[in-house]
Amino acid sequence: MDKQEQNTGLLQSVGAFIARKGRRVWPLTVTNKERIAPRMTRVAFIGSDLDELVWKQGQDVVLEIPCGEGFARRHYTIRHHDAQLRTLTIDFVLHGEGVSGPWLDALWLGDSVNAVGPRGHTMLNIGADWHLFSGDETCIPGIFAMIEALPKDARAFAFIEIGSDADRLTLTAQANAYLTWLSRDSAVAGPSRIVFDAIEKFELPQGRGHAYVIGETSNVRSVRHRLLERGFGRDQICAEGYWRPGRVGGHDHV
């Protein structure tokens, strides 16, 4: 099967899924692909109707990735969306084995893929006095997108676990943003206390804060539980497990 036939099959396959979920499908075409870090690739897409897409920073879309005779559905946070230009950008973290790696390697200009969404409940609470973000490298696109959307007088504190210092990216934001990079020194990602211990040492600022806790599911649960113990209300925390060992695809609502 050539790419044109494969793309046609993808477009036809999505109907039953959309009908079941009641969500809209956005046909995307690749316009650019670049490696922005040793383990992160940025892909830019264009879509004829992306001027109609309404999203909030932190939300994701589900891509239907060709896989053998069928399709695998994977969640990816929207890094940037320009309604006027009808473009959408996604940053892909390169890790482990699975269907997304080979698909991304073969992906090139003019290729097509369907996106479903946007979805997710991790999004900014603009009314908070300050903002706390935590996660691993899979969360960098979402964390950066949310911080960039904050106004210039906002305060944001981010604790981001990464494989090594090479995974650091540059953030350009108008808010007062303080990033703490937490390297695993090339150790394998998974359940750990790296982010938990860093936030435990963090002195919570005065005022009503809001926390956005994302990443590996067990790490998200432990950080969320501790923030509740430290006085956060449940309505002051967005918590979502992006991944966990042994699970393929999907997110955990924590």
Report pLDDT digits (tens) over 41-74: 999 999 999 999 999 999 999 999 988 778 889 9
- pTM assigned to the model: 0.89
Which pLDDT score is estimated for 19? Answer: 41
User: Contact at 8 Å (CB) between 195 and 182?
Assistant: yes
Q: Where are the domains of the chain?
A: 3-119, 130-253
Domain 3-119 matches domain 130-253 at the CATH topology level: no
Which pLDDT tens digit goes with each residue over 68-121?
Answer: 778 889 999 999 999 999 999 999 998 766 788 899 999 999 999 999 999 988
Q: Tell me what pLDDT residue 10 has.
A: 47
CATH 3.40.50.80 fits 130-253, yes or no: yes
Digit-coded pLDDT (tens) for 132-187: 999 999 999 999 999 999 999 999 999 999 999 999 999 999 999 999 999 999 88
Q: 183-206 pLDDT, tens per residue?
A: 999 888 889 999 999 999 999 999
Looking at domain 3-119, what is its CATH homologous superfamily? Answer: Translation factors (2.40.30.10)
Spatial separation of the C-alpha atoms in residues 17 and 63, rounded to whole Å: 12
